[in-house]
C-alpha cells in the first residue's frame, strides 16, 4: 500500500469504513502549504480500491493546483465514496459527516459527481465543514468558465466581451452543466446540449431553446467551443484528433485522459484552458467565503480569465502545453506561499 501511495505521489491518505452503513471511502489530502484542504465528495462504483485511490489522488492534486491558481489560501483533497449494493446512503453519509467533523476543519468539502443533494444534507447534520449551497457554487463555476472562454476569444484576436454568436457544445446537463448552459445562453451563445440522461438534456434544451446532440457525437461536433461538463477523461488521443472546435474549455475535472493529450490539441491549433483554471469558480466561492471571509468572491472568479489568457500566451510563446504552463504557475504560487509563511514565522520568533 505504501509503495502504491509513493507511485501516486500521495503523502496523506485516509481509508474510512463503517460496517453498519456499508460506507467505504478514500480520502486523499494532497497539500496543506497554503491552508486547509478543499475538495468535493465523489460517489461512484469503482472496479477496485486501487482504482478509487488513483482517482482520488489525481482529483486531489488537481484541487491543489486549482486553489493555487484561484488565489486561495487552501490546498487540495478529495473524498471518494465507493458506491456498492450494500451502501445505506443516508446512514453512510451521516457517518461520513461525523468523520469529516473529526478532522477539525483540515478538510473542507462539498458535492461532486455522483453525490446527491440528499447525501450532502445527511452529511451536513454532523459537520460544519461541508458547503451546501450548490446553486451558488455552480453559478460561480459558470462565471469562471465564461471568463476563460473570453480569454480564448481574445487569444484569437477577437473582442473578448462578445460571446454572442459563438456556437458551444456543452457535454453534461447536470447541475454544473446546466449552470454553464444558462450563463452562455444569457450571452446569446448558440448551444448544443448533450447528456447520457436524455430526459434531462431535453428539459434543459426546451427551457433554453437550445439544440440537442447525441452523446456519441458531442465531442466531435462542429462548433467554436467544446465544454465538457460531466465526467473526466473524455478527451482521449482519439477524441483530440476528431475535435472540430477551436477551443476546449470545460468544467469537468481532469478532462484529458492523459496530460500528453494537451500536445495533440496544441498541434492542431486547438486552444485548451486546463480545467484547474476553467472549473475553479466553485472552489473560489466556497473557500473564499468560509476560509478567507470574502464577502465578494467575484473579483477572484473573474481573474480566472486573466490567468487563462496568461497561460495561453505563455504556451504560444514557449511551445509548452497549457497544462504544463498552468501546473508550473500553480507550483510557483505554492512555493511563494510557503516562502511567505516561513518568513512570517521567522519574524514572529
Query: Which positions are catalytic?
Result: 78
Given the C-alpha cell 516562502, which residue does it identify? 339
CA distance 58 to 10: 10
Give the CA radius of gyration of the chain: 20
Residue 130: helix, strand or coil by DSSP? Answer: strand
Q: What number of residues does the chain have?
A: 349
**Residues 131/290, Cβ–Cβ less than 8 Å:** yes
Cα 207 to Cα 95, 182, 191, 203, distances in angstroms: 38, 9, 12, 6
Q: Which stretch of DSSP H or E encloses residue 139?
A: helix 134-155
Q: Are 288 and 300 in contact (CB under 8 A)?
A: yes
Closest CA to 229 of 275, 282, 176: 176
> Rounded to an integer, what distance in angstroms lies between the CA atom of residue 158 and that of residue 313?
15
Which segments of 101-218 are extended strands (E)? 107-108, 167-171, 190-194, 211-212
The span from the CA of 157 to the CA of 153, in Å, is 7
Helices vs strands, H then E, count in the chain: 13, 12
Amino acid at each position: 500500500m505504501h509503495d502504491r501511495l509513493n507511485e501516486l505521489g500521495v503523502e496523506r491518505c485516509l481509508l474510512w469504513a463503517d460496517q453498519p452503513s456499508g460506507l467505504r471511502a478514500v480520502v486523499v489530502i494532497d497539500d496543506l502549504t497554503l491552508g486547509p484542504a478543499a475538495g468535493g465528495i465523489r460517489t461512484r462504483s469503482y472496479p477496485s480500491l486501487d482504482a478509487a485511490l488513483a482517482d482520488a489522488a489525481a482529483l486531489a492534486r488537481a484541487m491543489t493546483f486549482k486553489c493555487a491558481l484561484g488565489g486561495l489560501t487552501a490546498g487540495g483533497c478529495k473524498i471518494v465514496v465507493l458506491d456498492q449494493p450494500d451502501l445505506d446512503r443516508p446512514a453512510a453519509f451521516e457517518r461520513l459527516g461525523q468523520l469529516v467533523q473529526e478532522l477539525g476543519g483540515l478538510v473542507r468539502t462539498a458535492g461532486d459527481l455522483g453525490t446527491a443533494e440528499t447525501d450532502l444534507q445527511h452529511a451536513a447534520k454532523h459537520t460544519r465543514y461541508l458547503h451546501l449551497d450548490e446553486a451558488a457554487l455552480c453559478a460561480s463555476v459558470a462565471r469562471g468558465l465564461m471568463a476563460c472562454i473570453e480569454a480564448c476569444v481574445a487569444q484569437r484576436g477577437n473582442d473578448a466581451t462578445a460571446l454572442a454568436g459563438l456556437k458551444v457544445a456543452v457535454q453534461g446537463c447536470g447541475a454544473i452543466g446546466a449552470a454553464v448552459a444558462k450563463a452562455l445562453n444569457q450571452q446569446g451563445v448558440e448551444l448544443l446540449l448533450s447528456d447520457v440522461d436524455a430526459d434531462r438534456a431535453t428539459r434543459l434544451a426546451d427551457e433554453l431553446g437550445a439544440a440537442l446532440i447525441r452523446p456519441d457525437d458531442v465531442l466531435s461536433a462542429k462548433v467554436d467551443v467544446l465544454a465538457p461538463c460531466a465526467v473526466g477523461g473524455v478527451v482521449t488521443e482519439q477524441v483530440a484528433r476528431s475535435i472540430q472546435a477551436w477551443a476546449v474549455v470545460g468544467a469537468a475535472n481532469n478532462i484529458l485522459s492523459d496530460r500528453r493529450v494537451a500536445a495533440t490539441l496544441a498541434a492542431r491549433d486547438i486552444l485548451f484552458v486546463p480545467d484547474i483554471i476553467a472549473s475553479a469558480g466553485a472552489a473560489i466561492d466556497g473557500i473564499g467565503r468560509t476560509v478567507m471571509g470574502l464577502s465578494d468572491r467575484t473579483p477572484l472568479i473573474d481573474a480566472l480569465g486573466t490567468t487563462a489568457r496568461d497561460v495561453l500566451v505563455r504556451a504560444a510563446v514557449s511551445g509548452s502545453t497549457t497544462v504544463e504552463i498552468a501546473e508550473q504557475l500553480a507550483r510557483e504560487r505554492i512555493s511563494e506561499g510557503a516562502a511567505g509563511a516561513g518568513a512570517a514565522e521567522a519574524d514572529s520568533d
